[in-house]
C-alpha cells in the first residue's frame, strides 16, 4: 500500500502493522504445542484478537493486560489456560483479577506463592525459574543471572515447592527465560537447567515453557534464528521428561517480538534537514516518545525514505536521524551508550516521509506523552485494506484526568 495513501488518511506519526506478516510468523512456530503471545510487545486489542482467532494463547504481565486479553475475547477456565498471568509481584488489582477469573499464574517470586495461597488455596501454578545465568542482546534485556530481578532463584526451588505444598498449590508447570537473542550453546544450557528443575519439581509437572526472546534480523546480513535446532533441543528435553514422568508434557513457547516486530512500521514526516558541523540531520515529527528502543538499548532499526514526489532516483548520503523532542538523546541512529552514528539514506527534503521498519514490537507500547506529544495512531493492514485500530490521541486526551485545585 503506498505510503502517500496511508499518510493522507491517517497522518504522521503512525504505526502500521501488516497482518499477513504476523500470521507468517505464527505459522513458523506451529510445531510447539502452545504458542503463547507475550502481549507486552504490542498489546492493541486488534492484534490480540488476531492472535486469538488463529489459536495463539496470551500472556499478561499486569492487571491492564488481563483486561486487554478479556476485551479481545480470551476466556478463563480452558486447558491449556488461555490467559496466564506472569510477573514477579502481585499488585492489588492483579491478584484480585486472578482470583475473580481463576487465572493461571506463572509465579516469579517466593512471596507470590504465599500471597496466592492465602486467597486461592488448591489452585495450580507455574514457577518461573532463574537458572543463575542470562543472555541478551543488551544488558537491559538480560533476564537471567544474579543481577536480574526476574524469576525464582534456582537454589530456592525446593523451598518454593514446600511453600506451595503448605498452601495446597499444585506446581504443574515450569517456565525459564534468560533474555533476548538465541544461540544454541546458551539454549542447551537453558534446556539442561529446565530438565534439572523439572526433576526436582517432580511428576506433577505437565507443562514446560521455553519463554520468548526469539530474535529477528534487524541489520543487513543478519540471518534468521534456526527454528529447527531451537525446537529440537526443547523437544528432546520434553521427551526425556515424559519418559521420566510417564505422562505427556506440553511444550509452550512465549514469543512477543518474533511474532510482531517485522510486521510494524513507524511512518514519520521529515520536518527539517539541517547541517551541524559535519553532520547532516533529518529531523522527524516522531521521536523517542513514539519509539524508545534506540535511546533505551541503542537498538538498530532499518529505515527508508519515501519521497513525496515519488522520485526514487536520489543519491545516497550519510545522515543522522532524530526527532522533535527537547532532548539531546532524541536520535534514532545511535548505538548503545548514546553514541550518535550516521546512516546512509537517500537525499531528502522537508515533506518527504521516513519509514522506520521492524517497529512492531516494543514500539507503540513503550510510547509516552513526553513534551506533551499525543500518542500516534495505529493501523492494521488486512488483505490490502488499511484499518484504523487506534485513533490518534487528541490534545484533550493529554489533559484528561488533570485538574487545578481550588
Q: What is the C-alpha to C-alpha distance for residues 141 and 260, in angstroms, rounded to an integer?
A: 18
Backbone phi and psi for residue 15, each to the nearest 5 degrees, phi listed first: -90, 135
Number of domain units in the chain: 2
Catalytic residue, chosen from 160, 182, 191, 326, is 326
- Chunked in runs of 10, what are the mean pLDDT values of the chain (406 residues)? 95 98 98 98 98 98 98 93 97 98 98 98 96 61 66 95 98 87 78 96 97 92 90 97 98 97 98 97 98 97 96 94 97 95 97 98 98 98 97 98 96
Contact yes or no for 318/41 (Cβ under 8 A)? no
Q: What's the CATH number where 79 sits?
A: 3.20.20.10
Please give the residue range of the domain that contains residue 272.
3-11+261-391
Listed residue (58, 67, 32) closest to 234, CA to CA: 32
The domain boundary, picked from 199, 233, 254, lies at 254
**Is residue 231 one of the residues assigned to a domain?**
yes
Same-domain pairing of 209 and 337: no
Which pLDDT score is estimated for 312? 83
**Is residue 406 one of the residues assigned to a domain?**
no
**Is residue 235 one of the residues assigned to a domain?**
yes
Listed residue (99, 100, 92, 70) closest to 83, CA to CA: 70
Distance from the Cα of residue 74 to its chain's centroid:
19
Q: What is the C-alpha to C-alpha distance for residues 296 and 215, in angstroms, rounded to an integer?
A: 17
Listed residue (210, 217, 212, 261) closest to 365, CA to CA: 261
Q: Given the DSSP bridges, would you call strands 377-382 and 385-390 parallel, antiparallel or unpaired?
A: antiparallel
Listed residue (141, 88, 150) closest to 298, CA to CA: 141
**Is residue 401 one of the residues assigned to a domain?**
no
**Is residue 230 one of the residues assigned to a domain?**
yes
Which pLDDT score is estimated for 138? 47
The domain boundary, picked from 254, 269, 297, lies at 254
Same-domain pairing of 277 and 232: no
pTM higher than 0.75, yes or no? yes
Which pLDDT score is estimated for 78? 86
Same-domain pairing of 71 and 46: yes
**Is residue 218 one of the residues assigned to a domain?**
yes
Same-domain pairing of 289 and 382: yes
**Is residue 135 one of the residues assigned to a domain?**
yes
Which pLDDT score is estimated for 315? 96
**Is residue 397 one of the residues assigned to a domain?**
no
Which pLDDT score is estimated for 181? 63
Same-domain pairing of 218 and 75: yes
25 counts as catalytic: no
The domain boundary, picked from 203, 229, 254, lies at 254
DSSP H stretches of helix in 204-361: 227-245, 257-260, 293-297
Which pLDDT score is estimated for 223? 86
Amino acid at each position: 500500500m503506498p505510503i502517500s495513501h496511508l499518510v493522507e488518511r491517517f497522518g504522521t506519526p503512525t504505526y502500521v502493522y501488516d497482518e499477513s506478516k504476523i500470521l507468517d510468523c505464527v505459522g513458523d512456530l506451529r510445531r510447539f504445542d502452545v504458542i503463547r503471545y507475550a502481549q507486552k510487545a504490542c498489546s492493541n486489542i486488534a492484534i490480540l484478537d488476531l492472535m486469538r482467532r488463529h489459536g495463539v494463547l496470551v500472556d499478561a504481565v499486569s492487571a491492564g493486560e488481563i483486561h486487554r486479553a478479556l476485551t479481545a475475547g480470551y476466556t478463563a477456565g480452558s486447558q491449556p489456560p488461555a490467559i496466564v498471568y506472569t510477573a514477579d509481584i502481585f499488585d492489588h488489582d492483579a491478584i484480585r483479577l486472578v482470583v475473580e477469573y481463576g487465572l493461571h499464574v506463572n509465579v516469579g517470586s517466593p512471596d507470590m506463592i504465599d500471597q496466592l495461597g492465602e486467597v486461592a488455596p488448591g489452585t495450580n501454578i507455574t514457577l518461573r525459574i532463574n537458572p543463575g545465568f542470562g543472555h541478551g542482546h543488551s544488558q537491559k534485556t538480560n533476564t537471567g543471572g544474579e543481577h536480574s530481578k526476574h524469576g525464582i532463584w534456582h537454589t530456592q526451588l525446593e523451598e518454593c515447592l514446600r511453600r506451595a505444598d503448605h498452601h495446597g498449590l499444585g506446581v504443574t508447570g515450569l517456565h525459564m527465560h534468560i533474555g533476548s537473542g538465541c544461540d544454541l550453546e546458551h539454549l542447551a544450557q537453558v534446556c539442561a537447567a529446565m530438565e534439572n528443575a523439572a526433576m526436582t519439581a517432580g511428576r506433577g509437572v505437565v507443562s514446560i515453557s521455553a519463554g520468548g526472546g526469539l530474535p529477528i534480523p534487524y541489520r543487513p546480513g543478519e540471518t534468521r534464528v534456526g527454528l529447527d535446532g531451537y525446537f529440537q533441543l526443547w523437544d528432546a528435553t520434553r521427551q526425556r521428561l515424559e519418559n521420566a514422568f510417564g505422562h505427556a508434557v506440553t511444550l509452550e513457547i512465549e514469543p512477543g517480538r518474533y511474532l510482531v516486530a517485522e510486521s510494524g512500521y513507524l511512518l514519520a514526516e521529515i520536518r527539517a534537514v539541517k547541517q551541524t558541523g559535519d553532520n547532516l540531520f533529518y529531523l522527524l515529527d516522531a521521536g523517542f516518545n513514539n519509539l524508545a528502543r534506540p535511546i533505551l538499548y541503542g537498538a538498530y532499526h532499518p529505515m527508508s525514505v519515501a519521497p513525496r514526489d515519488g522520485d526514487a532516483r536520489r543519491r545516497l548520503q550519510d545522515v543522522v536521524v532524530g526527532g522533535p523532542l527537547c532532548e539531546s538523546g532524541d536520535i534514532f541512529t545511535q548505538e548503545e551508550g548514546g553514541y550518535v552514528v550516521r546512516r546512509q539514506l537517500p537525499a531528502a527534503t522537508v515533506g518527504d516521509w521516513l519509514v522506520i521498519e521492524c517497529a512492531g514490537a516494543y514500539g507503540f507500547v513503550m510510547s509516552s506523552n513526553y513534551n506533551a506529544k499525543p500518542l500516534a495512531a495505529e493501523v492494521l493492514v488486512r488483505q490490502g485494506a488499511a484499518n484504523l485500530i487506534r485513533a490518534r490521541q487528541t490534545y484533550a486526551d493529554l489533559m484528561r484526568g488533570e485538574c487545578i485545585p481550588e
